[in-house]
Every structure is written in C-alpha cells, then in structure tokens.
Amino acid sequence: MLDELNEQFGRPGVVHFEAGTGGLARAVISTPAAEAHVYLHGAHVTHYRPAGQEPVLFLSPRSRFEPGKAIRGGVPIVFPWFGARAGHPSAPDHGFARISEWAVEGVGQSPDGVVSLILALQPSAATRALWAPDFRVAARVQIGAELAIALEVENRSAAAFSFEEALHTYLRVGDATRASISGLEGVSYLDKTDGLRRKTLGGEPFRLTGETDRVFLDTRGPHAVADPALGRRLVVEKRASGNTVVWNPWREKSAAMADLGDGQWRSMLCVEAANVGDGAVTLAPGARHSMEMVLRVARDAAPT
C-alpha cells in the first residue's frame, strides 16, 4: 500500500508515505516552512512544527497507535457525535472518524509552497453498523507557516441528518497551569465537570486551575493561548464553528488514563473548534458543511 501511495501521491523531498508508529501508514511532509505527520488512521495530524519553532501539537508518549483505537494527541477528528452517544452505550466515544482508516484523495502544493492533503471517509460496513446515513467526509489539511484543517461533511442520503463535529486539537504548552486562553471572556459554557451546569466566564482570559471540561457556547474565535513557559502564543482561528471546547484532565484524572502518562497533562491543553449539542449541524440531502481551524504560532517575550 505504501508503494502505491508514494507512486500516486508522493512528491520527492516534500511528501512521502511510510509506516509510522505501530506500523500505521502516515504522510510525512517536509518543506522549508514546516514539517508534519498525518496518519491515514483518523486523518490524524499528530505532528506539526513550523520552521524555527518547537512542535505545536502535543502527542502522548503513551498513545496507542492501533487500528480501532484513538490516538492521544495531535488533532483527533470527532464525527458524527461528540463524547458518548446518547442512548448507545457501546458506541465509541467521539464517533468513528478518529478510529477509521481514511483514504488519500489528493496531494498538492501551491506556488508558495503550502502542501495540501485531502483525505476522505465514506460509509463502510463498520460505520453503517454504528450510524445509518450515507455521507462523505473530507479532511483538507494544509501545511505551511500555518496549519489549516477543514472538515467537509456532505449528506449523500435521501433524508436530512444531523451530526456533531470537533477538531479536538491538543496544543503543546510548556505549563498548562500558567497558560491562559483569550477569546472566551464573558462567554457562557456548559461545565461537563459539574453536571453540564450552564455558567458564564468573567472578563479575564481563561486560566485553568484544575480539571477542565467546558463546552463554550456561541464562540467565533480567534483564541490565543498564551504560554509564558515557552514564551509563545498559539493562535486558533476557526470558521463555521459555533462552539469551542476546552479540556484538560489535570492531575488525578490523567493518572487514571493509561494512554497519557505521569505529568503529561501539564504539557497539553485542548482547544477544540466544534459544533456540538444544540450547535449540531443539520444537512439536507445533497448539502455540505465545512468547518475549518487554522493554527499558528505568535512569538511572545522570552520564556519565563
């Protein structure tokens, strides 16, 4: 399979396909502007590093890389439901997209050097057993001085369907206890650590002080994660996303997560572009919806 992928989509010196961790196939992208890894498993970007910067995405050293299991870190694609699926206790959390094998549909490079990969997921016996509608989902990943991921969902059924989605970005931070997130000031949220109670954030950038699992309502972005420990800001822009989810399991909960490892929670902060809950998207037959996230690094003062 790797030979065929390289023959059809490889670009010498820029994009090649190889067996990555756990033997799973991945695209390795390397340009003067950035490097990245994209697994076909989940259309999952696990690594992105713009030139001259430290990696932008957190990837757990204990992540599983196995068919049917989710990768812990990078940018998991959540579709077509978020979290546990109501009424279906045996359905996989966060949907099947992140644990499915996607197909490469195209690789390109623009004149300014930005590399694009298009991966697609269509119904299979495994997905139909979990979710009946006919659909096509495409992930368009663009790698350059910024990382852009667009998730395009098309309804190929004869009837309308609704879905939830998230680009569950694990940002790599120097110290989550000192990081803060802007763009959420005064915004209402559902607190998943407190029975989904609806609350409203104050007027200051959000600083995490413990386990955090919040679905912010009606957000447009951009969000900037200030990370004094690494002396940088990570800027998350989003389009066609009405929710932002912020998650960090903190000390106790992460200790119980086999695929995270001791102390790793300090180095990660999930800021997710999403459409979930009341923000779920409904598509008429033949209609499409595209949600996009763009991630870039802004330098701050020296690390403190």
Where in the sequence numbering do the catalytic residues fall? 168, 272
CA distance 258 to 281: 33
Smallest separation, CB 45 to ligand BG6 (Å): 15
Dmax (CA) for the chain in angstroms is 57
245 binds ligand BG6 (CB under 6 A): yes
**CB 140 → ligand BG6: shortest distance, Å?**
22
Q: How many CB atoms lie within 10 A of CB 174?
A: 17
Q: Is 192 in the site for ligand BG6 (CB under 6 A)?
A: yes
Helix, strand, coil shares of the chain as percentages rounded to 5? 10, 45, 45
| Residue 16 interacts with ligand BG6 (CB under 6 A): yes or no | no
Instruction: Decide whether 11 or 192 has the Cβ nearer to ligand BG6.
Output: 192
Q: Which of residues 108-137 bind ligand BG6 (CB under 6 A)?
A: none
> Binding to ligand BG6 by residue 238, rule CB under 6 A?
no
**Complex with ligand BG6: residue 247 or 250, whichever CB lies closer:** 247
Number of residues forming the site for ligand BG6 (CB under 6 A): 10
- Residue 171: closest CA among 79, 19, 31, 45: 45
For residue 212, the minimal CB distance to ligand BG6 (Å) is 9
CB hemisphere CA count around 75 (13 angstroms): 32
Told to check if 216 binds ligand BG6 by CB under 6 A, we report: no
Give dist(CA 106, CA 272) in Å, integer.
Answer: 26
- Pairwise CA distance, residues 101 & 45, whole Å: 13
Mask: binding to ligand BG6, 132-171, rule CB under 6 A, as x and -?
------------------------------------x---
Tokens of 224: 């900037």
What does the block give as tokens for 230? 């690494």
Residue 194 lies near ligand BG6 (rule: CB under 6 A): no
Gap between the Cα atoms of 137 and 289, Å rounded: 10
Residues within window 43-72 making contact with ligand BG6, judged by CB under 6 A: 70
Return the residues of window 67-86 that contact ligand BG6 according to CB under 6 A: 70, 83
- Tell me the closest approach of the beta carbon of residue 247 to ligand BG6, in angstroms: 4
Residue 51 in tokens: 């030139």
| First-last CA distance in the chain | 47
94 binds ligand BG6 (CB under 6 A): yes
Q: What token pair was written down for 129?
A: 């057993």
Binding pattern to ligand BG6, positions 266-285, x when CB under 6 A? ------x-------------
Distance CA 246, CA 221 (A): 13
Task: Return residues touching ligand BG6 (CB under 6 A).
Answer: 70, 83, 93-94, 168, 192, 213, 245, 247, 272
